[in-house]
Amino acid sequence: MSAEDSSRRIVRPVTGTVWLVVVAVVVVILLADIVLRGGWAMAARFAPWMLAVIWIMWVFFDRPRVILEADAVEVRNPLLATRIPWSAIEDITLRWQVSFHLAGGSDVRAWATTARRPHRSGAAQPVDRELEIMRERLESARKAGEADAASLVRVWAWPEIISGSALILWCAVSPFFG
């Protein structure tokens, strides 16, 4: 593993993946039951609706993440990924989710992080540690003098968009099966 690979850190909740797997297992069991009791035509009628639930879990709970790299941070939200050079970030804050405040005055919010939970003891929470790591990376990039303030890059999540569109189309024509 190179030094560049070791500096990569992914921030995301594990619960999204857990829920995706749980929902996928339940859907597979239900689809198998539909095939056994009603046949393939009935399965073709109900499958897109059940698969849409898996798609929603995948896109909204499993896909979001923040990837910290040596030169930039990538914020993957449900249908859009934004790559921001550290030099373009002025501040990182947390209210309901982590927000990256950019030099131009705009913000990029990360769906992958959660807000602090109210605790009477005032104990540190995992999101506080992740925010601290992000701020440390920002400060180290500033100290290194990385002045490459290239604009951020936004990329649509085409696999998610195309598969979601196919599911919508399948849902629209599914009443005509069987």
78 and 30 part of one domain: no
In a domain, 37, yes or no: yes
Rank 69-83, 98-112, 119-133 by mean pLDDT and report only the highest: 69-83
Q: Which of the pair, 46 or 118, is modelled with greater confidence? A: 46
Q: What does the alpha-carbon distance between residue 121 and residue 159 come to, in Å, rounded to a whole number?
A: 44
In a domain, 28, yes or no: yes
75 and 59 part of one domain: no
Q: Decide if pLDDT at 1 tops 50.
A: no
**Which pLDDT score, from 0 to 100, does residue 146 have?**
58
Q: Which of the pair, 60 or 71, is modelled with greater confidence? A: 60
Expressed as residue numbers, the domain containing 98 is 65-156
108 and 31 part of one domain: no
* Residue whose token pair is 């999540």: 157
Quick one: what percent of the chain has pLDDT higher than 90?
A: 53
99 and 171 part of one domain: no
45 and 103 part of one domain: no
In a domain, 8, yes or no: no
Q: Decide if pLDDT at 3 tops 70.
A: no
Tally of domains within the chain: 2
**Which pLDDT score, from 0 to 100, does residue 122 have?**
61
118 and 132 part of one domain: yes
69 and 141 part of one domain: yes
**Which pLDDT score, from 0 to 100, does residue 133 have?**
85
**Which pLDDT score, from 0 to 100, does residue 117 have?**
60
Beta carbons of 74 and 89 less than 8 angstroms apart = no
**Beta-sheet strand order (sheet of 72-76):** 9-11, 65-68, 72-76, 80-85, 153-156
**Which pLDDT score, from 0 to 100, does residue 71 have?**
86
Query: Helices marked H in 62-157 — which ranges?
Result: 126-143
In a domain, 144, yes or no: yes
Q: Residue range 151-164: average pLDDT?
A: 93
